[in-house]
Chains A and B, each alone.
Chain A
């Protein structure tokens, strides 16, 4: 289980994450949502140990990482057990999509080769697998980044706005695959603005604003929100006057 306790993060003097605690169990999907600038991506970066919080404790299974002003040492040994797909993808531009996916695998066994073929066909990236990232559309690059992360068989997955450039069909495929991963015991922390996706995929919802948790609980909170803020957030589209 990944458990984050009292995470605090400052950028210069601004507190962007304010005493946030949550957990992601294996076989569970936690969806973080909230308005732009709420601190969702920062929270993902902290929980995945990409960035250190200024204060707080992060436990990953039996490992505990305590951060304060004295301990700000980079933690990298948890990768690739923790898989991350960044909002900006960060595919290596000098490598083809195939090389991007396979570079982390010095040797590839039969099972991985089958998994590779399966993912390539599932996400329909065979057509542009030997192209360079900048020769592909954003949606295509997003799928390559996802396959790169999936093929590493992470125990926990952190996905930042991964549906932003996918078409409805691809979102459906991704959703199905995330459910397969969840059933295999992978813990998933996912950021999305796509509430329908959240309603289907999530086991838990974390609604964040200004670095604070406004609501956190089972996915029912998207149907019956307890706070006015979440109610107003999810009814955003209803208020549009045409």
Chain B
């Protein structure tokens, strides 16, 4: 059996695993982007009360491997609280927290480093605050943060594989289960790689297209 035959023969299992992975991923993306933008924006407005703590948290989270954070949330934290939470939701929580602070970091940095001279030029031209925000700040900032945000979201998709280690029936765990019954590791994990490529390539493609269309090189000679 080659990788494609495995994909075909076990399509029902793969579909279940893929659905869980995508559900997990969509939640992590949605929560991370929403709260990341909010915290990032608030962090740029309130540099000390929000910006500094969020910077510290993202610095700490950046130093902890995803797997360790996931395990810590799943075992000691839940034991300490005296609760048992489904692995899927633990994974959503862990990855969303990481995504939120990574996105917040990107947004806050872009807002803080926004070149004020462009706002000044707009004020001098008599533009009102709303127009300055819509036509000057937002487009420049989106172009700046887009590559970083897309890279982070692809990294989050790949990090969902760790959820298998806390018994979430996502795609990697499905592969492990199939492998334990037919023992064809090369073919199975190649099939997984193909599946991930099928998901990641379009995302990267969209990212590349958006980047090419909207994030031109602004540097002046």
**A residues bordering B, Cβ < 8 Å?**
48, 50, 76, 79-80, 82-84, 86, 88, 90-94, 103-104, 132-134, 138, 141, 148, 152
Contact = CB atoms under 8 A, between A and B. Distances in A.
Nearest to A80: B126
Interface stretch (B13-21, B82-90, B133-141, B204-212): B133-141
B123 interface: yes
8 contacts: A86-B117, A88-B117, A91-B121, A93-B218, A94-B140, A103-B127, A103-B135, A134-B217
Given A79-B123, A104-B125, A134-B221, A92 B117 contact: no
A76 B117 CA distance: 14
Summarize B's interface: helix, strand, loop or mixed: helix
Contacts of B218: 93-94, 134
A133 B220 contact: yes
A58 to B, nearest CB: 16
Contacts of B125: 79-80, 103-104, 148, 152
Contacts of A148: 125
Contact of A90 (B118, B126, B127, B221): B118
Given A132-B216, A134-B218, A76 B127 contact: no
Given A80-B125, A104-B126, A152-B126, A92 B136 contact: yes
A114 B135 CA distance: 25
A80 B120 CA distance: 12
A103 B120 CA distance: 14
B49 interface: no
A79 B119 CA distance: 13
A76 B125 CA distance: 10
A132 B140 CA distance: 14
Nearest to B127: A104
Contact of A76 (B121, B123, B140, B217): B123
- Which of B120, B121, B124, B139 lies at the interface centre, i.e. has the most chain A CB atoms within 10 A of its CB? B124
A94 B216 contact: yes
B184 interface: no
Contacts of A84: 124
A94 B124 contact: no
- Which of A80, A82, A90, A103 lies at the interface centre, i.e. has the most chain B CB atoms within 10 A of its CB? A90
Contacts of A94: 139-140, 143, 216, 218
Contacts of A80: 124-126
Given A80-B125, A103-B127, A133-B220, 9 more contacts: A80-B124, A86-B121, A88-B117, A90-B118, A90-B121, A92-B118, A92-B136, A93-B220, A104-B125
A88 B217 CA distance: 18
B123 A90 contact: no
B43 to A, nearest CB: 23
Nearest to B129: A76
A83 B124 contact: yes
Contacts of B127: 103-104
B113 interface: no
A91 B115 CA distance: 12
Contacts of B217: 134
Nearest to B115: A90
Interface in B127-154: 127, 135-136, 139-140, 143
A85 B9 CA distance: 69
A50 B120 contact: yes
- Which of A86, A94, A138 lies at the interface centre, i.e. has the most chain B CB atoms within 10 A of its CB? A94
B219 interface: yes
A86 B136 CA distance: 18
Contacts of B221: 134
B140 A93 contact: yes
Contacts of A103: 125, 127, 135
B219 A134 contact: yes
Interface in B78-106: none
Nearest to B139: A94
Nearest to B116: A90
A178 to B, nearest CB: 18
A76 B126 CA distance: 8
B114 to A, nearest CB: 12
